[in-house]
Amino acid sequence: MKIVYLLALGLLAGCTQEPPTGAQLFADNCTACHGADGTGSGWVASGLERKPANLTTLSARNKGVFPMERVLSTIDGFHRNPAFETAMPEFGSFFSGPMDQIELDGVMTPVPEPLLLVAEYLRSLQTE
């Protein structure tokens, strides 16, 4: 009986899975176009008419401030730039999940946790 108990514990331990990190979500969904380093050098980039954005310079291109609301909206698909509308997928339904509250322009706003994890990871990639 002791062996059955130990096997059951082992199986249960294998069933618990840590939620993905922002880095993992980025690696799984964004690197083909944006590259592992976020500079827009993914393996698909050379075949695209418009080169993917360098995601490491978002803050630098926004006067030193990370544009969280724009990043969330772009990934989600709420804000679509016509220049890349057909190239970048809308990840809104894919990055759904439990909601977190963040402050955007002074208003507490619910954001799906996976979407926020990717955006926070992008913030960590900023070079300036």
Task: Give the chain's count of helices (H) and strands (E).
Answer: 5, 2
Residue 107 dihedral angles phi and psi, to the nearest 5°? -120, 130
Q: What is the pLDDT of residues 1-46, one digit of tens each?
A: 555 454 555 555 555 678 899 999 999 999 999 999 999 999 999 8
Residue 78 pLDDT class (50, 70, 90 cuts): confident
Q: What are phi and psi of 111, to 5 degrees?
A: -135, 135
Q: For the chain, which domains are there?
A: 22-44+53-125 (1.10.760)
Would you place residue 121 in the very low, low, confident or very high pLDDT band (cuts 50, 70, 90)? very high
Cα angle: 86, vertex 120, 15; to 5 degrees = 95
Band the pLDDT of 90: cuts 50, 70, 90.
confident
> What is the rounded CA–CA span in Å between residue 18 and residue 12?
13
pTM for this prediction: 0.78
> In terms of C-beta density within 10 A (0-12 exposed, 13-18 middle, 19 or more buried), how is residue 122 classed?
buried
Mean confidence (pLDDT) of the chain:
83
In the block, which residue shows the tokens 């706003």?
109
Query: According to the model, what pLDDT value does residue 104 have?
Result: 85
Token pair belonging to 70: 């724009």
